[in-house]
Every structure is written in structure tokens, then in C-alpha cells.
């Protein structure tokens, strides 16, 4: 049985790396595991969690996945805001069929945030995606 969590991450990865608006800014730099000294800007996968939401014998979950956006423009927030807005636009309401037996019912962006990073030149954006998934 395929993991619904992995199906969701794969769908988000595919969407972000194929979206022209997002990809024009990050050049395909969407990472599950960021290597040392990455080229900015880039996107990485953050924490995730889910709550079972079974109903009438159908196994389901509401899963939240954090997508992190990283820019390094001398602490300027504008570049990070532009990229977080592009990621939000790309993912909100995105509909796709998972490759396996699990099914995406709905995907929506539930939070967008831009904040300073402890490193003075880096700005960190967060796009939180929540998906309703029917499990096989």
C-alpha cells in the first residue's frame, strides 16, 4: 500500500517543478532534503501531520504539509512574498490523480506566512497546504 503522505508530497513536488511561474524563480530547486550551501531561492518540504477523518467505512485523512520558501536578498521580504504568492496560486485548489490507489479529494492552501530568519539576509516563507485524502 502506498503512503498517502508520500503521494501528497509527490503531487506537490510535481506541481511546483512544472509550474512555469514558480519554476522561473527557483529553477527546479525544490528539495525534500536540502544539501549544504544551497543556491537561493529554493523551496523545501517542512513538517507534516494528519488527522484521520474516516467516514461511513471510508478510510480518509486530512493531511497538512508545510512548504518552505527561502530567499536571500539582503533581508528584503518582497522577493519571498512574490515567491510565496506564486506557490499559493499554484497549489490552492490543485486537482490531480495520485499514481497509486489513494485519492486526492481536495487540496487548499490554509496559511501563507513570510518572516525573518535568524540569519539576517535570509527571509523564510511558509505555505501550508491541507489535503483531504481517501486512503486505499
User: Per-residue pLDDT tens for 62-80?
Assistant: 999 999 999 999 999 999 9
Domain range for 125 is 4-134
- Closest to 83 (Cα-Cα) out of 37, 23, 34, 130: 23
CATH number, residue 38: 3.30.2000.30
Our count of domains for the chain comes to 1
**Cα–Cα distance, 69 to 9 (Å, whole number):** 15
pLDDT of the residue at 62 = 98
**Cα–Cα distance, 43 to 14 (Å, whole number):** 13
CB 129 within 8 A of CB 110: yes
Would you say residue 47 has pLDDT above 90?
Answer: yes
**Cα–Cα distance, 92 to 107 (Å, whole number):** 6
Q: What's the average model confidence in pLDDT over 103-131?
A: 97
Amino acid at each position: 500500500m502506498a503512503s498517502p503522505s508520500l503521494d501528497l508530497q509527490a503531487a506537490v513536488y510535481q506541481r511546483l517543478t512544472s509550474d512555469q511561474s514558480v519554476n522561473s524563480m527557483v529553477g527546479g530547486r525544490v528539495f525534500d532534503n536540502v544539501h549544504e550551501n544551497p543556491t537561493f531561492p529554493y523551496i523545501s518540504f517542512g513538517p507534516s501531520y494528519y488527522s484521520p477523518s474516516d467516514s461511513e467505512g471510508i478510510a480518509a485523512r486530512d493531511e497538512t504539509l508545510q512548504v518552505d520558501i527561502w530567499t536571500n536578498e539582503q533581508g528584503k521580504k518582497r522577493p519571498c512574498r512574490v515567491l510565496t504568492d506564486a506557490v499559493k496560486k499554484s497549489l490552492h485548489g490543485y486537482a490531480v490523480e495520485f499514481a497509486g490507489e489513494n485519492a486526492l479529494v481536495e487540496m487548499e492552501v490554509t496559511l501563507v506566512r513570510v518572516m525573518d530568519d535568524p540569519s539576517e539576509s535570509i527571509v523564510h516563507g511558509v505555505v501550508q497546504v491541507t489535503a483531504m485524502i481517501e486512503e486505499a
